[in-house]
Chains A and B, each alone.
Chain A
Amino acid sequence: MPEPRSGERRLPARRAVLASAAVGLSSALTAGLSGCSTASGKGGGVSLTFAWWGNDDRAARTEKAVRLFEKEHPGVTVRTSNAEFGAYKQKLATQAAGGGIPDVAQLDYRQVSQYAGGGALLSLGDIIEKQQIRTSEMDKSFLRTGSYEGEQYAVPMGRGITGYAYDAAIYKKAGIPTPQPSWTWQDWAEANRKIAALGLKSPDGRPLTGCNDGGGNEDVFEDWLRGRGGRLYASQTRLGFTEDDLTEFWTFCDRLRKDGSVAAARDSTQAKSTETSPMGRGLAAADFTWDAPFPGYPALLGDDVHYAPVPTTGGRQGAYFKPSMLLGVGAHTAHPKEAVALVDFLLNDPRAGDILSFTRSTPPNRKIAARVAATLEGAEREIYDYAQKLEKYGLDAPPTAPPKGDIPVQIAFGRAYQRVMFEQATPRQAARELIDEANRELRS
Chain B
Amino acid sequence: MSTVTTGAPPRADDTTPPRPASGRRPRRERQWPAYVFLSPWMIGALVLTLIPMAVSLYLSFTDYNLFDPPHWVGLRNYTEMLTEDPRYWRSVGTTLLYVVIAVPLKLAFALGVAMLLRSLGRGRAFYRSAFYAPSLLGASMTIALVWRALFNDGGSVTHVLDAVGIHTGGWIGNPDLAVYAVVLLTVWQFGAPMVIFLAGLQQISPDLYEAAALDGAGRWRQFVSITVPMLSPVVFFNLVLEMIQSFQVFTPAFAISGGDGGPADSTLFYTLYLYERGFTASHMGYAAAMAWMLLIAVGVITLILFRTSRSWVFYADEEGR
| Residues of A near any B CB (own CB < 8 A) | 1, 3-4, 6-14, 16-18, 20-21, 24-33, 90, 93-94, 96-97, 114-115, 117-120, 204, 265-270, 272, 276, 404-405, 407-408, 411, 414-415, 418-419, 421-422, 424, 433, 436-437, 440-441, 444
Contacts and interface: CB of A to CB of B under 8 A. Distances in A.
Given A93-B282, A269-B263, A14 B169 contact: no
Interface stretch (B30-38, B103-111, B171-179, B213-221): B171-179
Contacts of A444: 63, 65, 283
A3 B173 contact: no
Interface in B282-302: 282-283, 287, 291-292, 294-295, 298-299, 302
Given A8-B203, A32-B274, A90-B279, A14 B315 contact: yes
A118 B65 contact: yes
A90 B284 CA distance: 13
21 contacts: A6-B206, A9-B203, A11-B233, A11-B316, A25-B295, A27-B248, A31-B248, A32-B250, A32-B271, A32-B291, A93-B67, A96-B67, A119-B67, A266-B263, A269-B263, A270-B152, A272-B258, A408-B280, A408-B281, A411-B280, A424-B264
Given A114-B282, A444-B63, A3 B202 contact: yes
Nearest to B259: A86
B173 A20 contact: no
A10 B49 CA distance: 31
A279 to B, nearest CB: 15
A28 B248 contact: yes
A283 to B, nearest CB: 10
B264 A422 contact: yes
A16 B264 CA distance: 41
Query: Which residue, of B48, B258, B281, B299, has the highest number of chain A Cβ atoms within 10 A?
Result: B281
B160 interface: no
Interface stretch (B19-27, B94-102, B180-188, B236-244): B236-244
A30 B65 CA distance: 18
Contacts of A14: 233, 315
Contacts of B174: 266
Contacts of A28: 244, 247-248, 291, 294-295, 298
Contacts of B84: 436, 440
A118 B67 contact: yes
B270 to A, nearest CB: 10
B199 A266 contact: no
Contacts, number: 177
Contact of B66 (A96, A408, A411): A96
Contact of B278 (A6, A12, A32, A421): A32
Interface string B294-315: 1100110010001000000001
Nearest to A4: B202
B245 to A, nearest CB: 7
B275 interface: yes
A267 B173 CA distance: 7
Nearest to B71: A444
Contacts of A90: 279
Interface of B: 48-49, 52-53, 56, 63, 65-68, 80, 84-87, 124-125, 152-154, 169-170, 172-175, 199-200, 202-206, 233-234, 236-237, 240-241, 244-245, 247-248, 250, 258, 260-265, 271, 274-276, 278-283, 287, 291-292, 294-295, 298-299, 302, 306, 315-317
Nearest to B178: A269
B306 A4 contact: no
Contacts of B315: 11, 13-14
B240 A10 contact: no
Contacts of A27: 248
Nearest to A86: B259
A69 to B, nearest CB: 29
Given A8-B203, A9-B203, A11-B200, A266 B233 contact: no
B234 A12 contact: yes
Given A93-B282, A444-B283, A25 B250 contact: no
A203 to B, nearest CB: 10
Contacts of A97: 66-67
A120 B203 contact: no
B291 A418 contact: no
B67 A115 contact: yes
Q: Which 5 A-B pairs have the closest CB atoms?
A: A118-B67, A269-B263, A408-B281, A266-B173, A270-B173
Contacts of B280: 407-408, 411
Contacts of A119: 67
Contacts of B298: 25, 28
Contacts of A404: 65, 282
Query: Which residue, of B125, B153, B294, has the highest number of chain A Cβ atoms within 10 A?
Result: B153
Contacts of B287: 32
A21 B241 contact: yes
Contact of A440 (B80, B278, B282): B80
Contacts of A421: 264
A31 B316 contact: no
A256 B199 CA distance: 59
A215 B49 CA distance: 44
B248 A405 contact: no
Contacts of A418: 175, 262-265
Contacts of B245: 24
Query: Which residue, of A6, A11, A120, A204, has the highest number of chain B Cβ atoms within 10 A?
Result: A11
